[in-house]
Structure 1
Amino acid sequence: MGTATAPKAQQNLQVLEVVREVEIAASIDIVFETVLEQLGPMLSCGEDAPLLDMKLEAWPGGRWFRDLGNGAGHLWGHVQAIRPPELLELHGPMFMSAAATSHVQFRLQEVDGLTRLDFSHRAMGLIPLELQDGVDVNQGWTNYFAKLRGCVDKRLKP
């Protein structure tokens, strides 16, 4: 016979929105290739943090997941749309073990030798406050874009 637990306080629906416009001094092809790499096998949670063993199947419906081996892992999302080298959209729970869903969009455009990357991450659901705080300010996407720029720079150096 199971035991009953006391009901928890009701958590309200939360909305999360991170929007960025990033300019990178490189061709659109190099930036797009690096975006895919940094979401896949090179993704980490910080500059000195270990890699997360991510896989990104870069086709419509492809999975974006963390592979822990032996059939274990975490599904972060699916590729909703991809049009190399101009667009990547991902949809799913991302890193949240919560009743929430996200939509992430990378839209790239090359202008005068620069690539402009318009980025958005929008989520809604029962998102714990600690996840909201970490998504952009102290880590999350801020770190991702810093690392992306550094990796593009490395590709450009002979």
Structure 2
Amino acid sequence: MVNEELVEVFKALSHPIRIDILDHLKSQPLTTGELSEKYDVSRYAIMKHLGVLVDANLITIRRKGRLRVNYLNVIPLQVLYNRWVSKYETPHANSLIAIKNLVEERKDVKMEQTKEIKVDSFQIEQEIVIQAKKETVFKALTEDISSWWHFRVGEKDSKLILEPKLAGRFYEDWGNGEGALWGNVTYYKRNEEIRLNGLLGMSGSVNSSYSYKLIEDGDRTVLQLSHQAVGILEPHWEEAHRHGWNELLAENLKEFVEQK
């Protein structure tokens, strides 16, 4: 992240309403109208705050008919943390915070005899800017995926294969006919978009789909990730997948492509 981008992120975080907006979007995506209803300021003022957040790439916009839906984009915050905040952390401070959180959690513990089964969902939207042409990024997403997708179900040196075609498989090959299926291709348009269905580390009664969309911007490519999951979800799965996608795309893929 260059200094100019850091300035935009710090500027965006300098107003309490903008921080509060990010807190709301962490729970779920919201339309501009839904956000405006939460504040005693004009809709125009909220739109100005959203404009600042868009400039800092902290939110992404998706149009659904006449509605503008706002999604949290955690990547700039994660990059800011990795390159700035984490340098000033101390082990002692982290230990004290952990103890404080543990004590406060125990105060609120309630013993339950039964566990309620709840159907839940999440939606993750992220945008990554990569300094390369669409064709290069698309090749990395398909032919070179084993080079930067570092997560594995089996052995660390197992090979990942994405078959570049409709109904193709995205799978991990352990040899001797053994492996793990990561997803199936449901939509395939070369150098433009790939959509897949797959559990991505989740299990049980879950329907999960994810897609990559490539938009060329001069010598750069904007990679838009969209991931939706619905079913009986574990509480930590959404946060785990947010961080996982950030690591895979904003760090691993971006570095792999830009250093080629």
Q: Structure 1 length as normaliser, TM-score?
A: 0.80
Shift of 1:59: 0.5
Any stretches of 5+ residues in structure 1 without a counterpart?
Answer: 1-7
Compare CA radii of gyration and give the structure with the larger one.
2
From 162, 173, 181, the equivalent of 1:67 is: 173
Cα distance in 2 between the residues matched to 1:70 and 1:16: 36
Taking a change above 3 Å as real, the CA distance of residues 22 and 74 of structure 1, as seen in their structure-2 partners, is same
User: Residue by residue, what CA displacement relative to the aligned partner does 1:89-110 show, whole Å, maximum 9, x if unpaired?
Assistant: 1112232222112111111011
Say if 2:149 and 2:252, in contact at 8 Å, map to a contact too: no
Q: How does 1:1-158 map to 2 (within 5 A)?
A: 9-37=115-143, 39-40=145-146, 42-45=148-151, 50-137=156-243, 140-145=244-249, 146-155=251-260
Q: What is the number of equivalent residue pairs in this alignment? A: 144
Instruction: Calculate the TM-score normalised by the size of structure 2.
Output: 0.51
Per-residue displacement from partner, 1:97-132 (whole Å, max 9, x unpaired)? Answer: 221121111110112221111111111111222333
Contact 2:148 2:252 (C-alpha < 8 Å) held by counterparts: no
CA–CA distance in 2 between the matches of 1:51 and 1:104?
25
Higher helix share: 2
Shift of 1:42: 4.0
Displacement after TM superposition at 1:26 (Å)? 0.8
On the 8 A contact 2:166/2:188 being kept in 1, the answer is: yes
Unaligned runs of 5+ in 2: 1-113
* Shift in Å, 1:154: 1.8
Structure 1 pair 17/64, CA: closer, same or farther in 2 (3 Å)? same
Cα deviation, residue 86, structure 1: 0.6
SS in 2 for 1:26: coil
| Partner Cα separation in structure 2 for residue 128 and residue 56 of structure 1 | 27
Which of structures 1 and 2 has the larger relative contact order (alpha carbons within 8 angstroms, sep 6+)? 1
1:113 maps to a residue whose letter is D
Higher alpha-carbon deviation: 77-86 or 94-103: 94-103
Letter in 1 for 2:161: K
Code of the residue aligned with 1:25 in structure 2: it is: Q
